[in-house]
Amino acid sequence: MTTSDRSSEELQQLTDSQLLELLTQTDLRLARLQHEVRRRMQVRAQAERRVEQHVEISRMVEHLEQTTVDWQKVREFFRDSIVETRDSRTNT
């Protein structure tokens, strides 16, 4: 029989040691319940993280397309920079 099943009168009829034993059992059960709640929260958080990671992985192609280097433009930039540097040296 659990504490919630006991009426106030039944609790009053318990000896001090019985009441302390009941309280100890209740504390242990509460600790187990809190542990289970924390465990489930961790499992849920890990699952949510995995879902977020899978979404990002599925967007990998999109990310790669956004970071593709246009080497022609890089080459033109360096060529223009070299020309400007030469021109500035010859003009001074």
Domain ranges of the chain: 3-91
pLDDT of residue 68: 80
Q: Are 3 and 22 in contact (CB under 8 A)?
A: yes
Measured CA angle at 32 (ends 48, 46), to 5 deg: 10
Between 84 and 64, name the one with better pLDDT.
84
The model's pLDDT over 3-61, given as tens digits with 9 standing for 90+, comes to 456 789 999 999 999 999 999 999 999 999 999 999 999 999 999 999 999 999 999 88
Q: Give the pLDDT mean for 63-69.
A: 82
Note the pLDDT tens digit of each residue in 80-91: 999 999 888 887
The predicted model scores a pTM of 0.53
What string of DSSP letters covers 24-35?
A: HHHHHHHHHHHH
